[in-house]
Amino acid sequence: MKITRLEAINASKYLFLKIYTDEGITGVGEVGAWGFLDGTLGVIKKFEEYLMGKDPFMAEYHWNYLYRSMYFRGSVIMSALAAVDIALWDIKGKALGVPVYELLGGRCRDKVRSYEAVFKFTPEDMAEECKRLKSQGYDAARLMITGDIRKKQAGRENSIFNKKISDYINKVKACREAVGDEFDLILECHRSMDPSEAVAFAKGVEEFRPLFLEDPIAPDSPESMADVAARTNIPIATGERFINIQEFETILQKKAAKYVRPDVCALGGITPCKKVAAMAEANYVKVVPHNPLGPVSTAACLQLDAAIPNFAIQEFPSFYHQGNESEMTTEPFHEEAGYIVIPHAPGIGIELIDDLAEKFPANQRSISAQTAYDGSVYDI
Q: Are residues 25 and 126 in the same domain?
A: no
pLDDT string in tens for the chain (380-residue length): 999 999 999 999 999 999 999 999 999 999 998 888 999 999 999 999 999 999 999 999 999 999 998 778 899 999 999 999 999 999 999 999 999 999 999 999 999 999 999 999 999 999 999 999 999 999 999 999 998 766 667 778 888 999 999 999 999 999 999 999 999 999 999 888 999 999 999 999 999 999 999 999 999 999 999 999 999 999 999 999 999 999 999 999 999 999 999 999 999 999 999 999 999 999 999 999 999 999 999 999 999 999 999 999 999 987 787 778 999 999 999 999 999 999 999 999 999 999 999 999 998 887 777 888 888 887 76
Q: Quick one: CA torsion of 269, 272, 273, 274, rounded to 10 degrees?
A: 120
Catalytic residue at 321?
no
Catalytic residue at 190?
yes
Supply the pLDDT for residue 1: 97
Q: Are residues 36 and 134 in the same domain?
A: no
**Domain holding 96: CATH number?**
3.30.390.10
Q: How many domains does the chain have?
A: 2
DSSP designation for 347: B
Asked if residue 356 is part of any domain, the answer here is no
- 62, 190, 321, 334: which one is catalytic? 190
Q: Are residues 19 and 72 in the same domain?
A: yes
Q: Are residues 61 and 122 in the same domain?
A: no
Full domain range(s) for residue 62: 3-100
Q: Are residues 206 and 337 in the same domain?
A: yes
Which residues are CB-neighbours of 305 under 8 A, at least 6 positions away?
Answer: 109, 112, 287, 289, 311, 314, 342
Q: Are residues 276 and 127 in the same domain?
A: yes
Q: Are residues 204 and 251 in the same domain?
A: yes
Supply the pLDDT for residue 150: 61
Asked if residue 226 is part of any domain, the answer here is yes
Supply the pLDDT for residue 366: 79
Supply the pLDDT for residue 134: 97
Q: Are residues 196 and 122 in the same domain?
A: yes
Strands 339-341 and 111-118: antiparallel
Supply the pLDDT for residue 217: 96
Q: Are residues 85 and 141 in the same domain?
A: no
Q: Are residues 107 and 199 in the same domain?
A: yes
Supply the pLDDT for residue 380: 64
- 62, 290, 334, 344: which one is catalytic? 290
**H helices of the chain, where?**
37-51, 59-69, 75-96, 100-103, 123-135, 161-179, 195-205, 222-230, 245-253, 270-282, 295-307, 319-322, 356-359
Supply the pLDDT for residue 300: 98
**Domain holding 134: CATH number?**
3.20.20.120
Asked if residue 146 is part of any domain, the answer here is yes
